[in-house]
Amino acid sequence: MAAVSQPIASTSALPPAVPAASSTTAPAATAATPRIFDRSQLADVNAQLADATPQGILAWAIDHVPGLYQTTAFGLTGLAATDMIANLSKRRKTAHLVPLIFLDTLYHFDETMDLARRVEKKYKAPLHIFRPPGVETTKEFEAKYGERLWETDEDTYDYLVKVEPARRAYEELGVKAVITGRRRSQGADRAALEPVEIDSTGLIKINPLCRWGFQDVKDYIEMAGVPYNPLLDQGYKSIGDRHSTVLPKDGEGERSGRWASNKTKTECGLHKDYFAMKRAFEKKQLEQERAAVDKARGDDEVGESSISFDDGEAAKSEDLGASFSDLKLGA
């Protein structure tokens, strides 16, 4: 994964320390002068947040990280974070401090869509919804990109319903940092999560509940009366698209019910290398365009395109040489 050379804007060269884990109250707002926050300071930031509560991490992020949004699919961890932000906002006597970004894949459960509306209403949280490029409904998606695309080309599906809409959201909204619902106890590539990360694109990721387990989150939801997805009462623990989410078996991990047909998969694309996914998608698109032109010309063989490229186009084609098999998980 390529490193990002440019610095990331933040609000202090070295953010003030936050309360230790024994504190249940988030710190009050502090004045901060925008400074430079880059990878060289990441270890120091996480060291300062090592004993902070989720509320403390959230308060630190709100006070010291610009362009902050919460990306959420309204899972339990994200809901707990939203509730904590709402409580902090009330104590500061202000509107909900962190806007929400929801990626509508067009294949969510009805219960998930209903929950999104309930959360927006309860917390009066600004909610920004982004969908796959150029479509608004499932019917439009399938007409443009094909039916059951997750079965025929899962990586392209992930790019279209999650990765591209997320990047578009970040660009349109001016997002510099996002609050996520990832936790170490979810295992796989999340097992070593720190409170703060910077991914391959330079996006800052805040993981306020990274040290909590599933039961910790569930207890908070019940104690605080946070609205949640009713599918959880049926035994689901992690809920994604309806076509790829199943009930986990007894003893299985909480994300075992995701991507039922692909047990080696642990992420949907949002936490992979964006640049590699974009190159691979564009390469496939270019190949499809070539094939369509060859077919229109009546060529029987499609393997080698009859299209000629000038030097600029050839260089672009070469640059798109990454394949999905080369993808590496990002931060």
Q: Where are the domains of the chain?
A: 8-230, 274-326
- Residue-averaged pLDDT of the chain: 79
- 52: Cβ contacts below 8 Å, ≥ 6 apart: 18, 19, 20, 21, 60, 195
Distance CA 100, CA 178 (A): 9
- 30: Cβ contacts below 8 Å, ≥ 6 apart: 16, 63
CATH 3.40.50.620 fits 8-230, yes or no: yes
Q: CB burial class (10 A; 0-12, 13-18, 19+) of residue 124? A: exposed
Distance CA 237, CA 314 (A): 47
pLDDT at residue 269 tops 80: no
More confident residue, 267 or 320: 267
Q: What percent of the chain has pLDDT over 90?
A: 54
Distance CA 186, CA 256 (A): 9
Q: How are strands ordered across the β-sheet holding 68-71?
A: 127-130, 100-103, 68-71, 177-179, 204-206, 196-198
Give me 261's structure tokens: 């047909």
Give me 133's structure tokens: 């490029």
Residue with tokens 């798109």: 320
Give me the pLDDT at residue 88, please. 98
Q: How many helices (H) and strands (E) does the chain have?
A: 11, 8
Spatial contact of 146 and 157, defined as CB atoms under 8 Å apart: no
Q: Identity (one letter) of the amino acid at 254?
A: E
Distance CA 148, CA 288 (A): 18
Residue 95 three-state SS: coil
Distance CA 173, CA 168 (A): 8
pLDDT band at 310 (very low <50, low <70, confident <90, very high): very low
Give me the pLDDT at residue 10, please. 41
Q: What is the pLDDT of residues 161-208, one digit of tens each?
A: 999 999 999 999 999 999 999 998 887 777 889 999 998 888 999 999
**Residue (of 34, 60, 36, 35) closest to 47 by Cα position:** 60
Check if 210 is active-site: no
Catalytic residue among 239, 268, 270, 322: 268
Give me the pLDDT at residue 24, please. 42
Give me 43's structure tokens: 């270890």
Give me 242's structure tokens: 């309806």
Ranges 59-73, 143-157, 172-186, 239-253: which has the least confidence: 239-253
**Residue (of 70, 84, 82, 89) closest to 28 by Cα position:** 89
Read off the pLDDT of each residue in 230-247 and give the average, rounded to a whole number: 89
Q: What is the pLDDT of residues 106-123, one digit of tens each?
A: 999 999 999 999 999 999
Determine the distance from the C-alpha atom of residue 77 to the mean position of all C-alpha atoms in its chain, rounded to a whole number. Answer: 13
